[in-house]
Amino acid sequence: MPSPRDRDAAGADRTLDWEVAAATAGRLMPSGPDVPRAEAARAVRELRRASIEAEAHVRELTGLGLDLPVRQGDVVDRRGWVRAAAHGLSELTGIALAGGPRSLRSELLSGVGSRGAGVQAGVVLSYLGTKVLGQYDPFLPAESGGDPGRLLLVAPNIVAAQRSLDVPADEFTMWVCLHESTHRLQFNAVPWLRDHFAENVGALLSDADSSLTELAGRLPAVLRGVRSGQESSPGVLGVVELLQGPEQRAALDRILALSTLLEGHADHVMDAVGPRVVPSVAEIRRRFTERRKGGGLLDKLLRSLLGVDAKMRQYAEGAAFTEQVVSTVGMDGFNAVWSSPQHLPTRAEITDPPAWIRRVHG
């Protein structure tokens, strides 16, 4: 992970110390379930094997990346995921804001300090680090060379989830790998996708300094409206949207639409491939969906505050979009989404697939 000195030498102020974030999360986070050494070694071997086999199945179904090399996923523990996630986020923000007209250090974060912001980010990562099963991060440098990006499989979380769901270990492992392999192909088979995502993150963050005064001025009115019943409670995401200017809101819409597409497409693929290679896929999906809804009061509160519940809705909306488009125009017709940024669905089209079909295939 770049040091503060490295980041400054590259010409960008650090708004957040990601090394502090990773260290904080590592201290706060439990290590995971107690697994006998032999069982743990077997789980690691199976995850590595499944990460290669899963990608072959995804390529066959989607037609994406047929000529790309297949690389084994990286199996990590919780702290390994936290370190990688912090590194990836550091790379993303560096790419997104490189060469921007404003300093990366906003007035808001300068009041907290980069280390204080790092501690706060570490608290978030410590929670997510106990939940994430796998992740493809297109902004991480590949450890073995080749295209940037790493597929991470968080072994203790996968084992814990499989035990909780009481489903066959080998089938659950393959099911998870199908999802993450789909993400790897999305980014590696679509050359412009990584930069497009980073550009929109940059657009979302670039006006942070200029909008702080406006945000502070509008927030009391928003909160008064919610309290008085003039507006329904918008949730965390809704408040963020209400406080943004038009350009930031448009960038957020594009990011949300793209994220929903990526997650929903991966969910569709893992279930569509499933019956051939994961016989219990329907039962796994049913139990996994119930698990997503579960948790105690504190867990539900944290999920809401961190936007995890909004992400759960993304899976459902994106999968429904993918399924309806594929059933109407086939997988080749669906793959038009990857032909150019202009063919990506808008946020409105995600919930209105026929509108996207008319615009792109009409």
Predicted local confidence at residue 10, as pLDDT: 40
Domain for residue 329, yes or no? yes
Centre a 10 Å sphere on the Cβ of residue 185 and count the other Cβ atoms it contains. Answer: 24
Total domains, the chain: 1
Query: For the chain, which ranges sit under pLDDT 70?
Result: 1-15, 97-113, 142-147, 206-245, 292-312
What is the C-alpha to C-alpha distance for residues 45 and 62, in angstroms, rounded to an integer? 26
Q: Which residues touch 152 (CB under 8 Å, ≥6 apart)? A: 73, 74, 76, 80, 81, 84, 134, 135, 136, 137, 180
Domain for residue 104, yes or no? yes
Domain for residue 192, yes or no? yes
Predicted local confidence at residue 202, as pLDDT: 82
Amino acid at 295: G
Domain for residue 168, yes or no? yes
pTM above 0.85, yes or no: no
Identify the domain containing residue 320 by its residue range. Answer: 4-207+245-361
Looking at the chain, the number of H-run helices and the number of E-run strands are 17, 3
Centre a 10 Å sphere on the Cβ of residue 351 and count the other Cβ atoms it contains. Answer: 13
Domain for residue 18, yes or no? yes
Predicted local confidence at residue 224, as pLDDT: 52
List C-alpha distances in Å: 131 to 63, 67, 157, 230: 30, 33, 6, 36
Domain for residue 235, yes or no? no
Domain for residue 81, yes or no? yes
pLDDT tens digits along 185-235: 999 999 999 999 988 888 877 655 444 444 444 445 544 544 444 444 444
Domain for residue 31, yes or no? yes
